[in-house]
């Protein structure tokens, strides 16, 4: 009987120790340990000052844009910009932005990349077409 009580006591003691170990393993960190960790991160981190950048984007009217302005469009370099201007002179103004696909070197994929950056201003177009 004494052995049974001793065995039960040892079992209960082991369960309690196990629970305490589990609790400490899953417990929240102390405020002090968080402060120390924060201090270590701050001590080892270098913060650089970042210069502000103007990210204002203005859509470019592909019927009026110069070669330099066209080169601001994603996917348009010097060669494509010249082709756009030549196409505009030979075939007339673009009625829609999608018309730019007629330029050699601008396909559907390139158009998808640039379509948010270009416009065809209908008012300017009407003026140039004589309406």
Domain ranges of the chain: 2-44, 60-129
Residue 100, helix vs strand vs coil:
helix
Pure H helices in 1-131:
2-26, 31-44, 67-70, 78-91, 108-114, 122-129
Phi, psi of 84 (to 5 degrees): -65, -45
CATH code of 60-129, in short, is 1.10.150.320
Report d(CA 79, CA 83) in Å as an integer: 6
Condensed to tens digits (0 to 9), the pLDDT of residues 82-100 reads: 999 999 999 999 999 999 9
Tokens found for residue 107: 């396909």
Condensed to tens digits (0 to 9), the pLDDT of residues 51-80 reads: 665 555 688 999 999 999 999 988 899 999
| DSSP bridge pairs for 118 | 60
Q: Report the chain's terminal Cα–Cα distance, integer Å.
A: 111
pTM: 0.53
- Cα 89–66–122 angle (5° rounding)? 70
């Amino acid at each position: 009987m004494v052995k049974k009580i001793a065995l039960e006591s040892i079992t209960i003691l082991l369960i309690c120790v196990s629970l305490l170990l589990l609790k400490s393993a899953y417990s929240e960190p102390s405020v002090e340990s968080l402060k120390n960790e924060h201090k270590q991160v701050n001590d080892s981190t270098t913060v650089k000052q970042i210069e502000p950048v103007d990210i204002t984007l203005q859509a470019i009217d592909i019927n009026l844009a110069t070669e330099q302005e066209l080169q601001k469009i994603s996917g348009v370099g010097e060669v494509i910009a010249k082709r756009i201007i030549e196409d505009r002179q030979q075939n007339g103004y673009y009625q829609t932005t999608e018309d730019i696909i007629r330029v050699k070197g601008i396909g559907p994929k390139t158009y998808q990349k640039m379509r948010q950056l270009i416009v065809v201003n209908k008012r300017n177009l009407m003026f140039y077409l004589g309406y």
